[in-house]
Amino acid sequence: MNTQSNAMSEAFESQRAIPGVMAATRPLYWSVRRELWENRSLYIAPLAVAAVILFGFLINTIGLPHRLLDLWGLDPAEQRKHVALPYDMAAGLMMLTGMIVGAFYCLDALYGERRDRSILFWKSLPVSDLTAVLSKATIPLVILPAIIFSVTMATQWIMLMLNSAVFLAKGMSVVGLWSQVAFFQSSLLLLYHLYAVHALWHAPLYGWMLFVSSWARRAAILWATLPVIAIAALEKILFNTTHFVGFLGYRLAGGGEDAMTAPGNMPIDPTTHLTPLRFLGTPGLWMGLLFTGLCLLAAVRLRRSRGPI
C-alpha cells in the first residue's frame, strides 16, 4: 500500500519533470558534455599547437627589435607586416588545426560508437537519435569554433605580452606595437570569421562527414574522400573539365570573400569591413546549409537502424 502510493507519487513527480524544455535540452546538454569527455583531442590538439606556436614565437621575438630598428625608416604598412604577421599566422594555424580536428572528430563520431559497441549503451538511455546526432553536429559547428577562438585569443595575448616585454626591455615604446596588432579588433574579426566561415560555410563538409560516419562499416575516412576524388577524376576523364574541383575549392576556401571585404591595407576594421548581410545573401550558404540538414537527417535515420559492427 505504502510502496504503491510512493511509486505513484514518484511516477507523478517524474511525469511532471519530463515535459517541457528540460526534456528537450537536458539530454542534448549532457550529450555534448559527453562528446567533450570522450574527444579530449578537441581541446588538447589546439592547446598543443598553441604551445608550439608560442615556443617558435619566443625564439623569433628575441631578435625582432633588432630587425625592427633596420625597418624603422620604412612605411607603417611594411612595419606592420613584420610585427603583426606572427599573430595572423598563429590565427591561421589555429584555424587549420580546428578544421583537421573537426574532420577527424566527425568521421569517428557515429562510426566509433558502433565499432566499440558502446552504441548499445547509449541506446539503452532515453536519448533520441536526433538528440545524439545533433549533439555531435554541435561540436564542429558551435563548440570547436569557440575552443579555437579562446585558444587563439589566449595565444595571441601571451604573444603580445612577450612582445611587449622584449620591446620594453630594449627601451622601445609598445604603443606602436599595440596599435598595429589591434588586439580587440582582430579578436572580433576572428570570432566572426570562425562562425561565418568555419561553422556555417563549412557546415556541409561536416554534415557529409557525419553522414559517412553513420553509414560506413569500415574506413570512414576512405568513404568520405574516395567518392569525391572519383567524381573529380571521372569528370576530368569524361568531359575534361574541373567544375567539381572548383566547386569543392569554393566550398573549402571560399565564403570568406562574401563574409568580409579584404582591404589592401591592414588591419581590417570590423566596424566597416564585415559584410554579414552580403554573406547571408549568398545562395551557396543556404544551399550548403540545406545539404547539411539532409546529411544530418540521413545520419539520424541510419543511427536508428544501424547496430554495432
Partner 1 sequence: MPCIEARGLRKAFGTTIALDGINLRLEEGRILGLIGPNGAGKTTALNAILGLTPYQGELRVLGRDPWNERDLLMRDASFIADVAVLPRWMRVSQALDYVAGVHPRFDRAKADSFLARTSIHSNSKVKELSKGMVTQLHLALIMAIDAKLLVLDEPTLGLDILYRKQFYDSLLNDYFDRSRTIVVTTHQVEEIEHVLTDLMFIHHGRIVLNCTMDEFESRYVEVTVKPEHLAEARALKPIHERQALGRSILLFDGIERQRLAALGDVRTPSIADLFVAVMGSSAVPAQGAA
How far from 111 is each of 100, 230, 275, CA to CA, in Å? 17, 23, 38
**Least Å from the CB of residue 111 to partner 1:** 14
Site mask for partner 1 (CB under 8 A), range 28-47, x = bound: -xxx-xx--xx---------
Which residue among 12, 55, 121, 250 contacts partner 1 (CB under 8 A)?
121
126 near partner 1 (CB under 8 A): yes
116 near partner 1 (CB under 8 A): yes
Residues 252-291 that bind partner 1 (CB under 8 A): none
d(CA 42, CA 28): 18
DSSP designation for 177: H
Which residue among 26, 67, 170, 278 contacts partner 1 (CB under 8 A)?
26
Q: Is 284 exposed, middle or buried (0-12, 13-18, 19+ CB in 10 A)?
A: middle
d(CA 152, CA 148): 6
**Least Å from the CB of residue 9 to partner 1:** 12
d(CA 195, CA 170): 39
d(CA 200, CA 137): 12
**Least Å from the CB of residue 101 to partner 1:** 17
**Least Å from the CB of residue 98 to partner 1:** 22
d(CA 99, CA 206): 9
Are 210 and 296 in contact, with CB atoms under 8 Å apart? yes
Are 114 and 179 in contact, with CB atoms under 8 Å apart? no
Specify the residue, 110 or 199, whose C-beta has the smaller distance to partner 1. 110
- Binding span for partner 1 by CB under 8 A among 16-24, 42-50, 59-67, 85-93: 16-24
Which residue among 117, 217, 243, 278 contacts partner 1 (CB under 8 A)?
117
Which residue among 18, 96, 222, 287 contacts partner 1 (CB under 8 A)?
18
217 near partner 1 (CB under 8 A): no
Which residue among 5, 240, 265, 305 contacts partner 1 (CB under 8 A)?
305
d(CA 69, CA 242): 49
Position of cell 563574409?
A: 259
**Least Å from the CB of residue 43 to partner 1:** 15
**Least Å from the CB of residue 221 to partner 1:** 20
**Least Å from the CB of residue 118 to partner 1:** 4
Closest CA to 140 of 162, 117, 109: 109
Read off φ and ψ for residue 274, nearest 5 degrees.
-75, 135
Where do contacts with partner 1 occur on this chain (CB under 8 A)?
3, 7, 10, 14, 17-18, 23, 26-27, 29-31, 33-34, 37-38, 113, 116-121, 123-129, 131, 304-305, 307-308
